[in-house]
Amino acid sequence: MNFFLSYVILAEIFAIMALSTNFLVGVIGIFSVSQAALMGVGAYAYAVAAMAGLPFPVALLLALVLCAILNVLTSLPSLRLAGDYFVVTSFGIQLVATAVFINWSDVTGGVSGIAGIPAPSFFGVSTEEPRNFIVVTTLALIAAATGYALLMRSSYGRVLHAIRLDELAVVAAGRNVLRLKLGISAVSGAYAGLGGALYAIFLSFIDPSSFEIHVSVLILTMLVVGGARTLSGSIIGPFILLSIPQFMALVSLPPTMVGPARSLAYGVLLVAFMLLRPQGIAGRRL
């Protein structure tokens, strides 16, 4: 039973990550392959803060705010410019983040990572057990999904869609497109921070390999398979994608081949969906 709980918890955490990606890729239509990097920043920030004895809400808030600020600062230079600069920025952030996680060992523990990250307790109940922690992740996902829905229903959401459809026309209406983009980029960062913090708590151990570029590709695949720009897609995607390793377990592969085999499957899914169903399962044109 524990196994099923873990699956749901992870899928919920990744659904938050998919929503984070959705804001960028689905809503304003800019490429992102650095969500895992931000998730990592959130995870490390939470881990360091919690290990230093800060209470859960403070540590969580720290992770969220740090990720939001970081995402805004790193994307600011390339969002000022039209064109494909953002693709380079996104790859760059991901690779630099991995380098930082590995090399800044005083804080991140280097390749060996950080172990023993404490789980919070609420009203005297520890969430270390998955059956307790699932309440936390479920509530977090509900909050994140509500936030997404509220955003999409606001006038801000409409402007964001308009930016994707015709940025120049939005400028011609007197809108400050850069400010609007940075706003959503902050939200996307905060979501990634939330996902990262929950991930750190759930596994109680983090290392750089959890936040590599493969994971960013995985998150993007989740979004694409589920369907960009939809709430349901961001939730369906992670549940489907995280079940793939279970199927792969049926074929016995040498342990070193499991990772590449999975990533290969993600690549095939990305290409196949772009060719056959770019709108994903839940269906909106990308």
Q: Give residues 231-270 in contact with another protein (rule: CB under 8 A).
A: 256-257, 259-261, 263-264, 266-270
Of 136, 217, 235, 282, the one binding another protein (CB under 8 A) is 217
In 3D space, the residue among 132, 131, 129, 152 whose CA is nearest the CA of residue 234 turns out to be: 152
Residue 198: phi, psi to the nearest 5? Answer: -65, -40
* Residues written for the chain: 286
* Residue 135 touches another protein, criterion: CB under 8 A: no
Q: How far is the CB of 68 from another protein (least distance, A)?
A: 10
Residue 10: phi, psi to the nearest 5? Answer: -60, -40
Bridge partners (DSSP) of residue 122 are: 125
* Residue 7 touches another protein, criterion: CB under 8 A: no
* Residue 278 touches another protein, criterion: CB under 8 A: yes
Count of positions on this chain that bind another protein (CB under 8 A):
75
Q: How far is the CB of 256 from another protein (least distance, A)?
A: 6
In the bound state with another protein, the residue whose beta carbon lies nearer, of 5 and 159, is 159
The pair of structure tokens assigned to 30 is 């800019």
Q: How far is the CB of 165 from another protein (least distance, A)?
A: 4
Q: How far is the CB of 224 from another protein (least distance, A)?
A: 6
CA distances from 238 to 46, 148, 234 (A): 23, 17, 7
* Residue 67 touches another protein, criterion: CB under 8 A: no
In the bound state with another protein, the residue whose beta carbon lies nearer, of 117 and 225, is 225
The pair of structure tokens assigned to 205 is 């151990």
Q: How far is the CB of 110 from another protein (least distance, A)?
A: 9
In the bound state with another protein, the residue whose beta carbon lies nearer, of 244 and 261, is 261
Q: Which of residues 156-215 bind another protein (CB under 8 A)?
A: 156-159, 161-162, 165-166, 168-176, 180, 183-184, 186-187, 213-214
Q: Which of residues 75-134 bind another protein (CB under 8 A)?
A: 77-78, 81, 83-85, 87-89, 91-93, 95-96, 99-100, 102-103
Q: Please list, residue by residue across 103-129, b when 16 or more beta carbons sit within 10 angstroms of its beta carbon and e when fewer do.
A: eeeeebbeeebbeebbbbeeeeeebee
In the bound state with another protein, the residue whose beta carbon lies nearer, of 51 and 87, is 87
Q: Which one-letter DSSP state was computed for residue 23?
A: I
* Residue 275 touches another protein, criterion: CB under 8 A: yes
DSSP 106-146: HHH-GGG-EE-PPPPEETTEE--SHHHHHHHHHHHHHHHHH
d(CA 260, CA 153): 40
Of 9, 17, 30, 203, the one binding another protein (CB under 8 A) is 30
In the bound state with another protein, the residue whose beta carbon lies nearer, of 55 and 77, is 77
d(CA 117, CA 137): 16
